[in-house]
């Protein structure tokens, strides 16, 4: 992409910020160029966020019905999926999936809750409050 071809679509998901893209100048050298946004990128970002919000709502409803732990709801709220949460928490995916079951989640140790709390940027006490908020 050339320097004068860097997209500048003002209606973007950047929220007034700009994104640094690299483009080729007249001399053929790569140079950083700020971009105000790109409509296809903005659209795909909005679709992805809408999908995560729908998954969070579904997980929240399952939690309120007592069919799931709040862990899955929090995972989607903090824009993660199962592989990302497992990697950040340092656990196997099957273990994280097992912790989605409310009876298992309620018995988690402080050390395991600490891993999840760190992944979400919460304290262990805040996660404990989610345990107590059973429907």
23 CB contacts (<8 Å, ≥6 apart)?
Answer: 1, 2, 3, 5, 6, 30, 31, 33
Residue whose entry in the numeric block shows the structure tokens 């999908």: 51
Residue 73 CA to residue 33 CA, distance in Å, equals 38
Strands 30-35 and 19-24: antiparallel
Which pTM does this prediction carry?
0.77
Query: Can you give the pLDDT at residue 135?
Result: 47
Residue-wise pLDDT for 96-130, tens only, equals 999 999 999 999 999 999 999 999 999 999 988 88
Q: What is the DSSP string of 15-51?
A: TT--EEEEEE-TTS-EEEEEE-B-HHHHHHHHHHHHH
Residue-wise pLDDT for 5-48, tens only, equals 888 887 666 677 888 889 999 999 999 988 888 888 888 888 99
Domains delineated in the chain: 1-37 (no CATH), 47-132 (1.10.260)
Query: Can you give the pLDDT at residue 109?
Result: 93
How many other C-beta atoms can be found within 10 angstroms of the C-beta atom of residue 93? 13
């Amino acid at each position: 992409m050339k320097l004068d071809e860097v997209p500048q679509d003002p209606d973007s998901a950047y929220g007034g910020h700009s994104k640094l893209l690299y483009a080729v100048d007249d001399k053929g050298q790569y140079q950083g160029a700020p971009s105000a946004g790109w409509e296809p990128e903005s659209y795909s970002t909005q679709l992805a966020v809408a999908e995560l919000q729908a998954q969070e709502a579904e997980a929240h409803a399952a939690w309120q019905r007592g069919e799931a732990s709040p862990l899955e709801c929090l995972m989607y709220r903090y824009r993660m999926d199962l592989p990302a949460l497992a990697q950040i928490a340092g656990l196997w995916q099957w273990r994280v999936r097992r912790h989605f079951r409310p009876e298992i989640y309620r018995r988690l140790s402080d050390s395991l809750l600490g891993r999840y709390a760190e992944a979400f940027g919460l304290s262990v006490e805040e996660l404990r409050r989610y345990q107590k908020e059973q429907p």
